Amino acid sequence: MGDDPLLDELADIEVSASGRVREVADLAALDDLEAEVLGKRSRLTDIRSGLKDLEVEQRKVVGRALHEARGSLEAAFAARRGDLVDRERAAELEAERQDLTEALGRARIGHLHPITQTWERLEDVFVGMGFVVEDGPEVETDWFNFEALNLPPSHPARSLWDTLYLDTSGTPGVREEQVLLRTHTSPVQVRTMMRAVREGTGPPIHCVCPGRVYRRDTADATHLPVFHQIEGLVVDRGVTMGDLAGTIEEFTKAYFGESLTSRLRPSYFPFTEPSAEVDISQPDGSWLEMGGCGMVHPNVLRHCGVDPEEWTGFAFGFGIDRLAFVRHRVSDLRDFVTNDLRFLEQF
């Protein structure tokens, strides 16, 4: 049986054809080869047609060999076709290759001002601590900015604030130096307390008042005539200096991080008593001066219609610009108001 020439031929066809399948480089050549090897005019088709003329035994043997050869070649073609399709798709996609880094940095991205970012972070921390946010006018009267805050006219401490006054000459009923640009956010405390009393909504009051304030100060690396403060006010029954210190400490941990702490140093402000400076510890062991605080002076409560025997309160105030300045290691405060995009786009 081994010497049947047809079997030998089938074996040769299978070997040579499968070798050629492996060498075919593209789908068109593969189609041609498939027609040649497996098509109607192929030798395999010839052999199949000749089967009927063979002896029964030989027909069985050759038929089986033919079936196997054909099956194996069909599988080889299918596999090769799969390979070539994949390869062509890969080549097409490779031709579409892009350098994605070309697109880097092209997007037009806007930037929030670093002072706004600091302002909002502060608001978020205080809102998380149970405060609401209040605001007030930037043009104020002497009464709200000074007098209600226990700074009567000619109080020597008024010289601590270099005040910008509005020119009210020619305005009937308005005396000189009665209308000013607020020198601190403290008048918002007064307005908030008076409104709460008027509308019957408080005390208790737990609010922060962020805002823009003004001083008659020449701009330099560490001073601006216009800057921002955030002021806190809590008025309730039984509020103590210990509550103030605890609130400052909670804020310190929330804003600066768990590892830092705060301290209060006795100080003087006309609108609080006792008054203190707030220092925040720095990683290098030094203390950063943050702002002032204290127990709301009984006279201030009285001016706002709040009975100091029934209610006590504390207040604190920090500089927003200063916090932004320190956080971003800005070297010159004037960068905050120059609006140089090369500066603004860093944040």
Partner 1 sequence: MRVSLNWLRDYVPVEAAPEDLADTFADLGLEVDGVERIGAGLHGVVVARVLEVRAHPDADRIVIVDVDSGDGEALQICCGASNMAAGDLVPLATVGTVMPDGMEISARRMRGEPSNGMLCSAAELRLGDDTAGILILPVDLDPGVPLAEALGITEDVVFDLDVLPNRPDALSMVGIARDLAARLGLPLVTPSSAVAELGDPAEGLVTVEILDPVLCGRFLVRVLSGVSVGSSPDWLARRLLGAGMRPINNVVDVSNYVMLELGQPNHTYDLDKVAGSRLRIRRALEGETIETLDGATRMLSAGDGVIADGDDMAIGIAGVMGGASTEISDSTRDVLVEMAWWDPMAIAISSARLNLHSEASLRFKRGADPEMPPAAAVRFAELLGEVAGATLHPGVADGRGDLPDRSPVRVRTDRVNLVLGTDLDRDRVAALLDPIGFTCTSAGADLDVSIPSWRYDSREEIDVIEEVGRTYGLSRIPRTVPRSPEGGSLNHAQRSRRALRRALVGAGLSEAMPLPFLAPGDLERCGLDPDGACLANPLVQEESVLRTSLRPGLLAAVRYNSARRRFGARLFEVGRVFGPGEFVVDTERSEALGTVMTGEAEHLGAVLAGADALEAVELLDVALAALSVGPLALRAERLPGMHPGRGAVVEVAGFEVGEVGEIDPVVLERLEVAERVGWLGLDLSKLLAMPPAVRTARPVSRFPSTDVDLAFVLDEHTPAAAVATTIRAAGGDLVRHVELFDVFRSESLGEGSRSLAYRVWFQAPDRTLTDAEVAGLRAEIITEVEQTHGASLRS
Taking the complex as a whole, the smallest distance from the CB of residue 259 to partner 1 amounts, in Å, to: 17
Nearer to partner 1, 42 or 145 (CB): 145
Nearer to partner 1, 9 or 123 (CB): 123
Cα(138)–Cα(166) distance, rounded to whole angstroms? Answer: 12
Nearer to partner 1, 81 or 253 (CB): 253
Taking the complex as a whole, the smallest distance from the CB of residue 125 to partner 1 amounts, in Å, to: 10
What SS3 state is found at 110? coil
Q: Is the peptide bond before 137 cis (omega within 30 degrees of 0)?
A: no
> Can you tell me which residue has the tokens 């509005």?
166
Nearer to partner 1, 72 or 171 (CB): 171
Taking the complex as a whole, the smallest distance from the CB of residue 185 to partner 1 amounts, in Å, to: 13
Q: CA angle 220-227-292, nearest 5°?
A: 105
Question: How is 92-141 classified by DSSP, letter by letter?
Answer: HHHHT---GGGGTT-S------HHHHHHHHHHHHHHHTT-EE----SEEE
Beta carbons of 267 and 277 less than 8 angstroms apart: yes
339, two tokens: 């609006």
| Structure letter (DSSP) for residue 220 | B
Taking the complex as a whole, the smallest distance from the CB of residue 283 to partner 1 amounts, in Å, to: 19
Cα(234)–Cα(207) distance, rounded to whole angstroms? Answer: 7
Cα(282)–Cα(261) distance, rounded to whole angstroms? Answer: 8
What SS3 state is found at 147? helix
Nearer to partner 1, 58 or 299 (CB): 299
Nearer to partner 1, 229 or 312 (CB): 312
Nearer to partner 1, 38 or 337 (CB): 337
Taking the complex as a whole, the smallest distance from the CB of residue 138 to partner 1 amounts, in Å, to: 5
Residues in CB range of 29: below 8 A, 6 or more apart: none
What SS3 state is found at 346? coil
User: How many CB atoms lie under 10 A from the CB of residue 273?
Assistant: 15
Taking the complex as a whole, the smallest distance from the CB of residue 286 to partner 1 amounts, in Å, to: 13
Q: CA angle 14-18-24, nearest 5°?
A: 150
- In Å, how far from its chain's centre is CA 247? 27
> Can you tell me which residue has the tokens 């909002």?
120
Taking the complex as a whole, the smallest distance from the CB of residue 252 to partner 1 amounts, in Å, to: 11
> Can you tell me which residue has the tokens 């991080």?
257
Taking the complex as a whole, the smallest distance from the CB of residue 102 to partner 1 amounts, in Å, to: 18
Beta carbons of 308 and 194 less than 8 angstroms apart: no
Would you tell me the crossing angle of helices 5-23 and 43-50 to the nearest 10 degrees?
A: 150
Nearer to partner 1, 69 or 276 (CB): 276
Taking the complex as a whole, the smallest distance from the CB of residue 280 to partner 1 amounts, in Å, to: 14
Nearer to partner 1, 90 or 127 (CB): 127
What SS3 state is found at 111? coil
